[in-house]
Amino acid sequence: MTDKSFNTQDVSYEKRKAKQQRLNDAVEKLNALGIVTMLVNRVHSKIVIGDEGLLCIGSFNWFSATREEKYKRYDTSMVYRGESLQAEIRAIYSSLEQRKL
């Protein structure tokens, strides 16, 4: 799941369209690998769900975090494992389904 505007904003129309196309291409590649994707509106959380027993959730921008020392921030992501996550995962899915495009 990703926000439809994830890293696609730009003042330039051409750049914005190119960024949107890159996002669409990435979603298609993930889908071709059997990875379920969903575009949603206005979500800032970083969430990875693996089956019913793996959840990674946090604030770290895995793909766009700066590597320059002066701009580094303290962001984290936590990984949770176990069957007890099933109710939490269903609640997350339900909430995100309401934001689905």
- pLDDT for position 98: 92
pLDDT at 28 over 90: yes
- Domain ranges in the chain are 2-97
- pLDDT for position 95: 92
Helical H segments across the chain, by residue range: 13-32, 86-97
pLDDT > 70: percent of the chain: 95
DSSP classification of residue 40: E
CA distance 98 to 41: 9
